[in-house]
């Protein structure tokens, strides 16, 4: 048994450069479970999977695959349902299923390994027997330079229901790995390979640094025989249990209780801001505590030194707004997409708090909605905004929009970057329940925006985003290490 920290240390000791590759299997390795399940679920819900086909598929899945012949049969069964669909339809479906389901199965431990390899300049490769439609979104998320997967045959832009090229199961994956190593002049003895299945024994053995991630029984026994490291990942999937549900009810109950208290005190004081401050500050403390979520903060002095200001944070989880309330305590409002106004509980609170709801499909309306936010900034109320515009499906930082930067210039206030990591582990983007855990926050020093102009705003967006990227990649141990 090994740990993520031990594996990261081994990666850091490896030679730098693209001649060292990290080959990651997908299903069961990068993610918990199997990506195909999301596609089967979609077909069942959309009535595209008949009863007999469903039974055959489930039997094949339960039985497992132990030979290339069985893999070919299973592939034919799976691809047959896609026959006639266009490539564009499949790419759209693939992106949707990834965003709303598969991304939540990502092992954070595997993500940490991927980032460690990138930091050493290694070539990251996603190698899987799954089809390109299943693996392409994740390949983009992890920054894979190469994708070795099952290719699907097309004619006139439509799928034929057949695979093409080399089979990517068992020996086929190892052969593809060796072909890529020859073509790219990779040093296999220095390379790393990660997998969970016994069929990948040859694939793992071909690399100088094999790692078994959540291995099945046969691979676990082989790992013991060959002294291969075994990485166990925290459980992230499955149907929420009674404890998860109870914890989540308590989480929202804490917010509700604070809201009632805040409403009473706010009415007595005839102050809407009192209601907001009590609901946000006290409610956040109580809800996070009962959910078992600890928050470690570096750079707390920057939460107060530049108000009024724009607090810009990276967005992964529904609890991010609760984290902001806990950190800032009061004296702030926010900007959110218009859909947030309809979220039960949160939507009503956002309205009371004077949040500016933005219609991202209409630039003119979005600009009009920002005007009250500028007025509040000038009047002394800080603004909280996520420059990404929406929650990211994985820990990867999304592109930043310019809205927050234009607001800072218009209101002539500083910007304070707040970098969050691990929030997606306690409540993933699409999750309905919370998990206990630790969220880390780094509050960076305020940025002077007085010299920013419309002509240079793109440069400032890139500079600030680079600060987030650097902080996430090199997490500070103390306030002294925060980038200025």
Q: What is the average pLDDT value for the chain, to the nearest integer?
A: 86
For 14-35, the pLDDT digits (tens) are 999 999 999 999 999 999 988 8
The Cα–Cα gap between 222 and 201 comes to 8
pLDDT at 298 (0 to 100): 96
pLDDT at 221 (0 to 100): 97
293-319 mean pLDDT:
94
Question: Helix, strand, or coil here: 417?
Answer: strand
DSSP 93-126: HHHHHHHHTGGGGB-HHHHHHHHHHHHTT-EEEE
Helix (H) or strand (E) holding 8: helix 4-13
Strands 332-337 and 356-358: parallel
| Residue found by looking up tokens 């390899």 in the block | 117
At 326, list the tokens.
């806990």
101-120 mean pLDDT:
94
The Cα–Cα gap between 437 and 418 comes to 19
Stretch among 39-43, 89-93, 397-401 having the lowest mean pLDDT: 39-43
At 194, list the tokens.
């990660």
The Cα–Cα gap between 232 and 28 comes to 11
Contact 426, 404 (CB under 8 A): no
Domain ranges of the chain: 4-231, 242-479
Same topology, domains 4-231 and 242-479? Answer is no
pLDDT at 373 (0 to 100): 76
β partners of residue 27? 31
250-271 mean pLDDT:
69
The Cα–Cα gap between 113 and 427 comes to 21
pLDDT at 284 (0 to 100): 87
Give me the long-range contacts of 393-398 (CB less than 8 A, separation at least 24).
Answer: 393/98, 393/99, 393/103, 393/104, 393/141, 393/429, 394/103, 394/106, 394/111, 394/141, 394/424, 395/108, 395/111, 395/316, 395/421, 395/424, 395/472, 396/141, 396/142, 397/314, 397/465, 397/468, 397/469, 397/472
For 113-159, the pLDDT digits (tens) are 999 999 999 999 999 999 999 999 999 999 999 999 999 999 999 99
Stretch among 248-257, 362-371, 406-415 having the lowest mean pLDDT: 362-371
pLDDT at 117 (0 to 100): 98
The Cα–Cα gap between 416 and 309 comes to 7
Contact 354, 334 (CB under 8 A): no
pLDDT over 90 at 465, yes or no: yes
For 328-349, the pLDDT digits (tens) are 988 888 877 776 666 665 666 6
If pLDDT is split at 50, 70 and 90, which confidence band does 362 have? Answer: low
pLDDT over 90 at 351, yes or no: no
* Percent above pLDDT 70 for the chain: 81
CATH number of 4-231: 3.40.50.1000
At 393, list the tokens.
């499906």
Give me the long-range contacts of 194-197 (CB less than 8 A, separation at least 24).
Answer: 194/22, 194/23, 194/24, 194/25, 194/29, 194/110, 194/113, 195/25, 195/29, 195/219, 196/25, 196/27, 196/28, 196/29, 197/25, 197/28
pLDDT at 244 (0 to 100): 80
The Cα–Cα gap between 267 and 42 comes to 49
The Cα–Cα gap between 427 and 240 comes to 12
Stretch among 94-98, 302-306, 390-394 having the lowest mean pLDDT: 390-394
pLDDT at 111 (0 to 100): 96
For 395-442, the pLDDT digits (tens) are 999 999 998 999 999 999 999 999 999 998 899 877 788 889 999 999
If pLDDT is split at 50, 70 and 90, which confidence band does 52 have? Answer: low
pLDDT over 90 at 361, yes or no: no
pLDDT over 90 at 187, yes or no: yes
Looking at 1.10.3430, 3.30.720, 3.40.1130, 2.40.50, the CATH number of the domain 242-479 comes to 3.40.1130
Residues 6+ apart with CB under 8 A from 82: 90, 152, 159, 161
Q: Is 432 exposed, middle or buried (0-12, 13-18, 19+ CB in 10 A)?
A: exposed
Length of the chain: 484
What is the Cα 467 distance to its own chain's centre?
19
β partners of residue 151? 164
């Amino acid at each position: 048994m090994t740990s993520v920290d031990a594996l990261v240390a081994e990666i850091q000791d490896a030679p730098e450069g693209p001649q060292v590759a990290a080959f990651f299997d997908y299903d069961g390795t990068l993610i918990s479970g199997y990506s195909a399940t999301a596609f089967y679920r979609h077909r069942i819900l959309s009535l595209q999977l008949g009863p007999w086909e469903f039974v055959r598929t489930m039997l094949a899945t339960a039985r497992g695959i132990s030979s290339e012949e069985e893999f070919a049969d299973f592939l034919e069964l799976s691809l047959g349902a896609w026959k006639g669909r266009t490539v564009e339809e499949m790419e759209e479906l693939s992106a949707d299923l990834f965003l709303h389901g598969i991304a939540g199965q990502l092992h954070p431990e595997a993500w940490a390994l991927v980032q460690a390899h990138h930091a050493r300049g290694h070539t990251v490769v996603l190698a899987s027997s799954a089809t390109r439609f299943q693996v392409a979104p994740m390949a983009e998320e992890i920054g894979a330079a190469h994708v070795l997967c099952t290719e699907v045959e097309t004619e006139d832009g439509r799928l034929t229901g057949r695979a093409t090229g080399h089979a990517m199961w068992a020996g086929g994956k190892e052969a593809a790995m060796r072909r890529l190593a020859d073509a790219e002049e990779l040093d296999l003895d220095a390379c790393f390979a990660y997998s969970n299945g016994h069929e990948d024994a040859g694939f793992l053995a071909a690399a100088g640094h094999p790692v078994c991630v959540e291995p099945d029984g046969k691979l676990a026994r082989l790992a013991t025989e060959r002294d291969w490291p075994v990485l166990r990942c925290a459980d992230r999937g499955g149907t929420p249990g009674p404890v998860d549900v109870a914890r989540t009810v308590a989480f929202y109950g804490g917010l509700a209780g604070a809201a009632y208290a805040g409403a009473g005190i706010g009415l007595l004081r005839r102050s809407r801001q009192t209601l907001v401050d009590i609901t946000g500050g006290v409610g956040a403390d109580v809800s996070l505590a009962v959910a078992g979520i600890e928050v470690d903060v570096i750079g707390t002095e920057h939460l107060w030194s530049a108000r009024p200001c724009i607090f810009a944070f990276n967005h992964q989880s529904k609890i991010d707004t609760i984290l902001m309330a806990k950190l800032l305590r009061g004296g702030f409002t926010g900007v959110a997409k218009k859909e947030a106004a309809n979220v039960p509980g949160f939507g009503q609170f956002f309205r009371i708090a004077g949040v500016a709801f933005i219609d991202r499909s209409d630039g003119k309306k979005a600009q009009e909605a920002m005007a009250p936010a500028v007025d509040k900034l000038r009047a002394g109320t800080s603004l909280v905004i996520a420059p990404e515009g929406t929650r990211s499906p994985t820990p990867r930082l999304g592109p930043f929009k310019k809205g927050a930067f234009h607001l800072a210039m218009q209101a002539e206030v500083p910007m304070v970057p707040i970098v969050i990591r691990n929030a997606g582990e306690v409540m993933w983007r699409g999750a309905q329940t919370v998990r206990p855990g630790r969220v880390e926050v780094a509050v960076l020093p305020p940025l002077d925006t007085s010299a920013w102009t419309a002509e240079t705003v793109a440069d400032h967006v890139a500079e600030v985003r680079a600060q987030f990227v650097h902080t996430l990649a090199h997490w500070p141990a103390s306030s002294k290490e925060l980038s200025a």
